[in-house]
Amino acid sequence: MSNEIKFLRLLIGETSYKDFNTLYQMLKLTARDRSVQRESVWRNESGNKQGEYLSNVAIGYGKTAILHIIDIEANVQYLKGICNSAREQRYIDRLEEFLNEGHKWSHVDGGNRADTIIDWYDNKVYLIAAIYPLYEQDQFGKKVMVGTVTLNKPMNREELIQSGGDHEKLVKQLESQLFTIEIYSELTEEDRRDLFKNLNDNVDLSIEEIRNSEISDICNSIRDLNDKYKGFFEKYGWVTESNARRYKFCAWLGYMNNFYHNAHFKDCKSWTPKTLDNDYKSGSPEEKDLPNFIEYFEKTFVPLVKIINSSQTTYVHGHDKKTGKEIVKPIKNENIYKNLGTPQRNTLMDLHIILVKIMKDGYSLSTTNNRKPRLEDLFLTYKEWLLFKTTEKEVNEDGKEVDKRWPTNGSQLGKWLDLYGANTNPKIQSRLDAIKNEFIPLLIEKGLIIKKDEVRTFPYDFRQRLWTDQGHKCALTGKYISLEDALNTDVTRIDHIIPHSKGGKTVYENAQLVFNKANQDKSDK
């Protein structure tokens, strides 16, 4: 029973008070640890959160909101004395990276306030329009109001100083304020996570921001993938800047990884926050499969997205609703494919589902003459299919209109795009069924996907025959191969001329004897 009881560690911190300028100098050397600290929100939100905060500081609220930071060097020394796992060592390594970057402290909580103080000196923060009290200390140290100053419009530091008089006094009053700082030197990674969650228990953090504090390799890796690609997806309108800033793009990547690992079309569960909460646990199956997903995402999915981004008007076939006659319609690369903040975001998720389904079912995309996967043809076929699916009615062989709607919630029917409103059952199941039963067969019919040879390994006795037929030379480098090396699997291998992953058959006509290193260099390319 004792193992089920959580051990509560004593939280030890040192409280101090810093004046405005001293704190400013500290904050310039304070790192933003993304595992608990979100990106700056106040800087990018509409309204004037930064100005509202400093306006309150100017009238004495500086000490009421505590900034929580870690003394990095002291904490590293403490952790080195108790470290007993690879995970704890990785945390130490991350803190030491901050030190190497010139940081002395790291944030636990208070990043937006820290940004605001830094931005004040860069004249990026505007105090709100209001009547401010001006005060001085009397002989007993008591603050006494001596007047007021009116700001008829928001003003930054430089504007206030240039105005002189009471406006300049307001700047001095603001910059004389004290702030409460709690500095920690004995925080484990778990301590820091728990502190962050407790401090933000009643704060308007998104589910994604809270999940970002999870201690796991999958959490760190998805955040790294987010940082690497969010700018690319923002640029082309797939995700809004505000959504990416609050880790919603991380969640989207997490759902993609979930389907990559659990790709199936039976009893599909809804993709909910709880789904990702479970995936983000250290040691989860989704975590173990993540490296494979990342390789697929970078080598296959991102190139497809680039093709979509560059696509122009495409002419596709459709049917006139009244006459049933075939017509040609232009489709532009518009918002129907874009933005994580709209239901249509799931058209992109469907392309991911299609690619994964192809791979998991033993198919591969056919290739162009230069042996590149036909990703563009796949996308154009999808666009044409989507146009057909979004038509509410179709004309059958008898010339009659047939209702084309799908179950969205129990017995309720809706348009095809209604299925993109959420990744919940039965909406996602309807989409999966259509992809399985309609789109995949369409790709097979068009010859865009081919079944990979189930036999992957060439017979050993091909070696000497290939060695002879190739004139004792490596098929890739042209370098001489001795018979001894030709028969040694540690030195040479039999390679598919047309890669197995591209539908190449495991037959003699598609085999070549090559040096292992040459084959590796080929794979790397």
Residue 421 has pLDDT above 50, yes or no: yes
Judged against a pLDDT cut of 50, whether residue 408 lies above it is answered with yes
Instruction: Look at 22-31, 256-265, 339-348 and tell me which has the smallest mean pLDDT.
Output: 339-348
For 289, phi then psi, to 5°, come to: -90, -5
In this prediction, residue 128 has a pLDDT band, given cuts at 50, 70 and 90, of very high
**Is a pLDDT exceeding 80 seen at residue 337?**
no
512 pLDDT tier (thresholds 50, 70, 90): very high
Most confident range (mean pLDDT) of 261-265, 412-416, 438-442 is 438-442
More confident residue, 456 or 484: 484
pLDDT of 333 higher than 60 = no
Burial class (CB in 10 A: 0-12, 13-18, 19+), 280: buried
432 pLDDT higher than 70:
yes
pLDDT surpasses 50 at 472: yes
CB 146 within 8 A of CB 135: yes
pLDDT at 54: 93
Least confident among 265-274, 437-446, 495-504: 265-274
What DSSP assignment string belongs to 3-32?
Answer: GGSPPPPPP--EEEEEEHHHHHHHHTTEE-
Dump pLDDT digits (tens) for 66-117.
889 999 999 999 999 988 888 888 889 989 999 999 999 998 888 889 999 9
Q: Give how far Cα 254 sits from Cα of 204, 250, 258, 289, 292, Å.
A: 22, 6, 6, 12, 13
Q: Which of 120-134, 150-164, 236-250, 336-350 shows the lowest mean pLDDT across its residues?
A: 336-350
Nearest Cα neighbor of 366 from 451, 455, 296 is: 451
- Residue 405 pLDDT: 67
The residue with greater pLDDT, 420 or 238, is 238
More confident residue, 174 or 400: 174
| Per-residue confidence (pLDDT) for residue 189, from 0 to 100 | 85
Look at residue 444 and tell me whether its pLDDT is greater than 60. Answer: yes
How much is the mean pLDDT over the chain? Answer: 82
> What is the model's pLDDT at position 147?
92
Q: What is the pLDDT of residue 402?
A: 58
Higher pLDDT, 459 or 163: 163
- Pick the more confident residue, 339 or 418: 418
What one-character DSSP code corresponds to residue 317?
E
Neighbour-count burial of 109, counting CB atoms closer than 10 A to its CB (0-12 exposed, 13-18 middle, 19+ buried): buried
Q: What is the pLDDT of residue 374?
A: 86
Given a contact cutoff of 8 angstroms between Cβ atoms, the answer to whether 91 and 190 are in contact is no
Looking at residue 64, what is its pLDDT? 84
pLDDT at 406 over 80: no
Provide CB contacts within 8 A for 150, sequence distance 6+: 130, 131, 132
Among the residue ranges 252-256, 285-289, 306-310, 420-424, the one predicted with the least confidence is: 420-424
Residue 299: partners with Cβ closer than 8 Å, 6 or more residues away: none
User: Which range, 137-141, 183-187, 204-208, 343-347, has the best average confidence (pLDDT)?
Assistant: 183-187
Task: Name the band, by pLDDT with cuts 50, 70 and 90, for residue 419.
Answer: confident
DSSP 338-405: --TTSGGGHHHHHHHHHHHHHHHTTEEE-B-TTS-B-HHHHHHHHHHHHHHHT-SEEE-TTS-EEE--
What is the tens place of the pLDDT at every residue in 39-64? 677 887 767 889 999 999 999 888 88
CA distance 373 to 31: 43
Kindly report, residue by residue over 1-28, the tens digit of the pLDDT. 445 677 777 888 889 899 899 999 999 9
Burial of 487: CB neighbours in 10 Å, binned 0-12, 13-18, 19+? middle
Residue range 358-366: mean pLDDT, rounded: 82
Q: Count Cβ atoms below 10 Å from residue 323 Cβ, excluding itself.
A: 10
**3.40.1350, 3.40.1800, 2.40.50, 2.60.120: CATH of 462-524:** 3.40.1800
Q: Where are the domains of the chain?
A: 2-205, 210-451, 462-524
- Mean pLDDT across 426-449: 85
* Tens digits of residue pLDDT in 129-152: 999 999 988 778 788 889 999 999
